[in-house]
Amino acid sequence: MDARTERTAVPLAVDLDGTLIATDLLWESLFLLLRQRPLCLFLLPFWLLGGKARLKCEIAERVEIDAGGLPYRQKLLNQLAEDRAAGRHIVLATAAPRKFAEAIARHLGVFDAVISSEPGRNMASRVKRDALIEAFGDGGFDYAGNSRADIAVFDAARTALVVAPDGAAARWHARNGGELIEGDKPSLRTYVKMLRAHQWLKNALIFVPMILSHEYFNSDMFIPAVLAFISFSAAASAIYILNDFFDLSLDRRHPTKRNRPFASGVLSIPFGFVAMIGLLAISVGIAFLLPPLYGMVLAAYLVATTAYSLAIKRMLLLDVLMLAGLYTVRILAGSAATGSGVSFWLLAFSVFFFLSLALVKRYVELRGTSLQAGERIAGRGYRIEDQEVISQAGMASAFSSAMVLALYIQSSAVRELYSMPWLIWPLCPIVLYITIRIWVLARRDEMHDDPIVFIISDWRSQLVGAFGAFLLFYAGT
């Protein structure tokens, strides 16, 4: 009997979370439940009092998972398909609730049986080991697992298949051997993507009140502005992580978002949760070094962005109004941190300007879909036929921002701040150039899905923006 025949003659039990899939269904289903039914948050402690198995089953009763969209370990799947073709008996042995396990088994079609958690029985570690020994005998099966909880099962199996092991499972493999299938290793770029560090560029808006107050070299304002920038960046990254948790299933259906660290399974949800708490601690800790008003603005930002992630992002038009408001909140945060005032004109300009850019984001999403008339974008409140209305509203907002700027230039406030106010008139065509060009590129399908990042990284926008900044500086000297 050759080695392959000998191997396939022995049943193979396969773990699910972290082994067959590069994620954990308990965490996934929990965030899916909270997205769909936020009030269930208050039921979680009562379910947990009944044990982990009850918690899993209660969540599973209320949500449906997309078995076809999960991040499967392709190398392991290929091996399972080969073994199944050779006649091997393969069992899905998982601590996930039966509803989820059977949905995945049906989707893959490589399992002969399912052993899973039931109410009152969490099929993990020694419980799983005992169930497999009862079914196949001690040493009468091979087992594929990945974590510390699987070590008890490894010890009872004939041979272990260690998949993408955690530290404890890796140490077990080093001592006892067995086959190893390594998972994708996160790189520095993975963590940068998790933080969405490129989005920190938006927080440069915090410096706007200080700059417009002509306090460029005032350390009493510059240092608080830098601290506020760091605080807001940490808070934004924490919210982006939370948003990724709620959008896992939606991101996996997107051509590019499916490669995000949590959607792809390269980073685990528990790791992301710890990182999120750490980032929030950094943000709030810095806020204590700044004026109390900044802390209030930060708190409002956190509440608003959480509400956006949970519900508002799926509401027609309210989502773009919220995005425009969140950009403006960054300006208010800069004002609160530095003590420099913000005028009605600045806030009015910001609302219209950023509303136009928020509408660009939705327009680009609509352009990038292959939906039919009447169908909505997944996770959004828009349909394909809304493109024209969105673009008209976006262009109108762009011109409104330029109009507000023109009225501001003619106001008495400008004559008090600038010795040569006529030098700032070119800012109006500069704003129109930047916004209208973005809309032209969006209609050509040449637009990045985040226009703020595009403006900051595009050399033409940088050039005209630098020219406008020079005019502002020179007009005030």
Residues 6+ away with beta carbon under 8 Å from 171:
none
Q: What is the pLDDT of residues 135-155, one digit of tens each?
A: 999 999 999 999 999 999 999
**Which residue type sits at 316?**
L
In the prediction, which pLDDT does 375 show? Answer: 67
Task: Choose the most confident range, by mean pLDDT, from 103-107, 315-319, 378-382, 460-464.
Answer: 103-107
The alpha carbon torsion through 156, 144, 52, 59 (nearest 10 deg) reads -150
Spatial distance between the Cα atoms of 111 and 81, rounded to a whole number of angstroms: 10
Confidence class for position 335, pLDDT limits 50, 70, 90 = very high
Using the predicted structure, report yes or no on whether residue 73 has a pLDDT greater than 80.
yes
pLDDT for the residue numbered 378: 64
Is residue 163 within 8 A of residue 76, CB to CB? The reply is yes
Answer for the pair 304, 322: CB distance below 8 angstroms, yes or no: yes
- Number of neighbouring beta carbons within 10 Å of residue 17: 23
- Residues in contact with 473: Cβ distance below 8 Å, sequence separation at least 6, in sequence order: none
- Report the C-alpha gap between 426 and 433 in whole angstroms: 11
Cα distances (angstroms) measured from residue 79 to each of 85, 88, 169? 10, 11, 20
**Residues counted in the chain:** 477
Region label for 459, one of left (φ > 0), alpha (ψ between -120 and 50) or beta (otherwise): alpha
Q: Among positive and negative, which fits the CA dihedral 250, 252, 256, 257? A: positive
Mean pLDDT of the 242-247 span: 92
Residue bearing tokens 């003659």: 9
Q: Which residues contact 146 (CB under 8 A, 6 or more apart)?
A: 15, 18, 19, 162, 163, 164, 165, 166, 169
CA distance 114 to 98: 8
Dihedral sign, Cα of residue 105, residue 110, residue 112, residue 116: negative
| pTM listed for this prediction | 0.86
Two structure tokens written together for 32: 């899916």
User: Residue 438's closest CA among 414, 466, 424, 457?
Assistant: 457
Determine what percent of the chain is predicted with pLDDT higher than 90: 60
Residue pair 16/105 in contact (Cβ under 8 Å)? The answer is no
33 band by pLDDT with thresholds 50, 70 and 90:
very high
179 closest CA partner among 157, 163, 156: 163
What is the per-residue pLDDT for 317?
Answer: 86
H or E element in which residue 320 lies: helix 318-338
Q: Which two tokens stand for residue 258?
A: 């499916």
What's the half-sphere exposure (Cβ side, CA atoms, 13 Å) at 328? 23
* DSSP bridge pairs for 13: 91, 143
Residues 363-415: pLDDT tens digits?
888 887 766 666 676 667 788 888 889 999 999 999 999 999 888 888 777 77
Q: Is the pLDDT of residue 1 over 60?
A: no
pLDDT at 347 (0 to 100): 87
Among 241-245, 274-278, 298-302, 307-311, the least confident range: 307-311
